[in-house]
């Protein structure tokens, strides 16, 4: 019996690599001589770099960049095991976690640091970049990102606008003459689990702005500022991207990438699975374990376990999903390829206790599942 463990992170408790290690320990306690492949997975959000470096044998790098509020942060990025692909996550430079709760206001925060990370990859000689968009604390339509790479955003008097999405209501012209020419020869593959347009009721501001600290009374004005950006940038860049799926990802950074680079936006988990050669590794195993912090109806919206299940289903391999919690709609996921689901907690537990003991609980839950598999194998042999 050969196993593959491919969990997402358990947010606030375990990284994907830590979760994979706990699952592997649980399996080895029952099947000590079996082969176990560990492939941590992600969907483009926080943890994408760590997961892909772990899965591909890559190496990490660190660059000092501007954080969302303009202060300096140490941002981790990396190089995949192929040696030719740089992997970056926007959250490392522009993440919500980098903004103190009392200062969260996406009208002011900027993606400039994410642009600096891309520039660092270009300067290091990389012409293939995988960029994950989840977890940002920004809503500037990618204007900060583009500024870091040489684009100017000007008001009616030809003055440069300040950072942040709110200032874009005064945008009169986009000057891309200084855009880094190396971008023309660079393949940028964007991993996103969001297919929202830039503006409107399903757009970046209305859906995600409040989660980033935007007060309700500020939604309409900030959405209008991004709509102005869409009008001006579409005119000056010669392409209208505001309604494309994923344009609203990361507070509109998706749109900025589409305007100023040749980026392709795709399902985050699919991009990450491809980068780790997941389909090829599946051919080596008989059963897959995956998991996440909470599994419910939202898992169908492009989360990592569903991507794992879809890939395994194409090859006829069953998938067991172990999660911190199972919510409404979890059982319906069996129709999407998750063969069995179980919660980590062996009985009633406070959420704080579950999170604090996540590694121990995940290892124990995997051990219980492995014992059931062992019983099934014994019955089959008989």
Looking at the fold, whether 108 and 176 belong to one and the same domain comes out as yes
| Side-chain half-sphere CA neighbours of 88 within 13 A | 26
Looking at the fold, whether 55 and 25 belong to one and the same domain comes out as no
Cα(119)–Cα(123) distance, rounded to whole angstroms?
6
Mean pLDDT in residue range 211-232: 97
pLDDT value of position 117: 98
Cα(151)–Cα(131) distance, rounded to whole angstroms?
19
pLDDT value of position 92: 96
Domain boundary among 269, 300, 320: 269
pLDDT value of position 329: 84
Mean pLDDT in residue range 109-116: 98
pLDDT value of position 294: 87
Cβ atoms of 90 and 134 within 8 Å: the answer is yes
Looking at the fold, whether 217 and 355 belong to one and the same domain comes out as no
Tell me the pairing of strands 319-326 and 340-343: parallel
pLDDT value of position 354: 86
Q: Helices (H), strands (E): how many in the chain?
A: 13, 13
Looking at the fold, whether 263 and 240 belong to one and the same domain comes out as yes
Looking at the fold, whether 194 and 264 belong to one and the same domain comes out as yes
The domain that contains 257 carries what CATH number? 3.90.1510.10
227 confidence band (pLDDT: 50, 70, 90): very high
142 confidence band (pLDDT: 50, 70, 90): very high
H-only helix segments in 283-322: 304-314
Cα(172)–Cα(155) distance, rounded to whole angstroms?
5
How big is the CA angle at 196 (ends 193 and 197), to the nearest 5 degrees?
Answer: 145
Mean pLDDT in residue range 208-233: 97
Q: Is residue 276 part of a domain?
A: no
Q: Is pLDDT of 345 > 90? A: no
Q: Is pLDDT of 72 > 80? A: yes
Q: Is residue 274 part of a domain?
A: no
Q: Is pLDDT of 380 > 70? A: no
| pLDDT, tens only, 312-343 | 999 999 999 999 988 888 888 888 889 999 99
Cα(79)–Cα(88) distance, rounded to whole angstroms?
9
Residue 231: strand, helix, or coil: helix
pLDDT value of position 355: 87
Cβ count near 22 (within 10 Å): 26
Cβ atoms of 226 and 151 within 8 Å: the answer is no
Q: What pTM was computed for the model?
A: 0.89
The domain that contains 361 carries what CATH number? 3.40.50.10350
Cα(319)–Cα(339) distance, rounded to whole angstroms?
5
Domain boundary among 241, 269, 297: 269
For the chain, state the CA radius of gyration: 22
pLDDT value of position 381: 61
| pLDDT, tens only, 165-190 | 999 999 999 999 999 999 999 999 99
Q: Is pLDDT of 11 > 90? A: no
Looking at the fold, whether 230 and 298 belong to one and the same domain comes out as no
Q: Is residue 277 part of a domain?
A: no
Contacts of 323 (CB under 8 A, 6+ apart): 291, 292, 293, 294, 295, 305, 330, 341, 342, 343, 344
As for how many domains the chain has, the answer is 2
pLDDT value of position 334: 84
Looking at the fold, whether 209 and 354 belong to one and the same domain comes out as no
Looking at the fold, whether 34 and 171 belong to one and the same domain comes out as no
Q: Is pLDDT of 217 > 80? A: yes
DSSP letter (8 states) at residue 140: S
pLDDT value of position 187: 98
Looking at the fold, whether 251 and 134 belong to one and the same domain comes out as yes
Looking at the fold, whether 336 and 239 belong to one and the same domain comes out as no
Domain span at residue 31 reads 2-40+282-381
pLDDT value of position 382: 55
Looking at the fold, whether 343 and 361 belong to one and the same domain comes out as yes
- Which of 8-12, 50-54, 146-150, 289-293: highest mean pLDDT? 146-150
Q: Is residue 138 part of a domain?
A: yes
Tracing tokens 């780790």 back to the chain, one arrives at 276
pLDDT value of position 136: 96
1 confidence band (pLDDT: 50, 70, 90): confident
pLDDT value of position 220: 97
Q: Is 29 left (phi over 0), alpha (psi -120 to 50) or beta?
A: alpha
Q: Is residue 308 part of a domain?
A: yes
- Tokens for 58, please give them: 């890559």
- Tokens for 342, please give them: 């179980």
Looking at the fold, whether 80 and 217 belong to one and the same domain comes out as yes
Cα(98)–Cα(213) distance, rounded to whole angstroms?
13
Share of the chain above pLDDT 90, in %: 82
Q: Is residue 275 part of a domain?
A: no
Q: What is the mean pLDDT of the chain?
A: 94
pLDDT value of position 130: 97
Domain boundary among 225, 248, 269: 269
Q: Is residue 142 part of a domain?
A: yes
């Amino acid at each position: 019996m050969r196993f593959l463990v491919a969990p997402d992170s358990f947010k606030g408790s375990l990284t994907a690599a830590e979760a994979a290690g706990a699952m592997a320990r649980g399996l080895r306690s029952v099947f000590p001589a079996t082969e176990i492949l560990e492939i941590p997975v992600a969907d483009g959000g926080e943890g994408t770099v760590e997961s892909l470096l772990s899965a591909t044998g890559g190496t990490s790098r660190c660059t000092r960049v501007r954080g969302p509020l303009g202060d300096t942060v140490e941002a981790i990025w990396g190089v995949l095991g192929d040696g030719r692909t740089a992997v970056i996550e926007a959250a490392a430079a522009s993440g919500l976690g980098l903004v103190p709760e009392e200062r969260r206001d996406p009208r002011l925060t900027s993606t400039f640091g994410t642009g600096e990370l891309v520039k660092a990859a270009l300067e290091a000689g990389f012409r293939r970049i995988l960029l994950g968009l989840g977890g940002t604390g920004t809503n500037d339509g990618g204007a900060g990102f583009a500024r870091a790479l040489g684009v100017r955003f000007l008001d009616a008097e030809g003055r440069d606008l300040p950072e942040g999405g709110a200032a874009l209501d005064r945008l009169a012209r986009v000057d891309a003459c200084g855009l880094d020419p190396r971008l023309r020869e660079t393949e940028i593959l964007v991993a996103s689990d969001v297919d929202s347009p830039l503006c409107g009721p399903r757009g970046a501001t209305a859906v995600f702005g409040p989660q980033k600290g935007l007060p309700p009374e500020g939604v309409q004005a900030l959405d209008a500022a991004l709509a102005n950006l869409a009008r001006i940038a579409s005119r000056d860049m010669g392409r209208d991207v505001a309604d494309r799926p994923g344009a609203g990802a990361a507070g509109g950074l998706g749109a900025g990438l589409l305007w100023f680079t040749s980026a392709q936006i795709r399902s985050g988990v699919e991009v990450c699975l491809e980068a780790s050669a997941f389909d090829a590794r599946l051919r080596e195993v008989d059963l897959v374990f995956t998991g996440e912090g909470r599994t419910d109806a939202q898992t169908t919206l492009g989360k990592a376990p569903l991507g794992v299940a879809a890939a395994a289903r194409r090859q006829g391999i069953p998938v067991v999903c172990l999660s911190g919690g199972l919510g409404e709609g979890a059982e319906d996921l069996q129709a999407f390829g998750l063969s069995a689901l179980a919660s980590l907690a062996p009985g009633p537990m406070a959420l704080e206790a579950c999170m604090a003991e996540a590694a121990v609980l995940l290892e124990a839950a995997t051990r219980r599942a492995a014992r059931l598999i062992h019983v099934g194998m014994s019955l089959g042999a008989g």
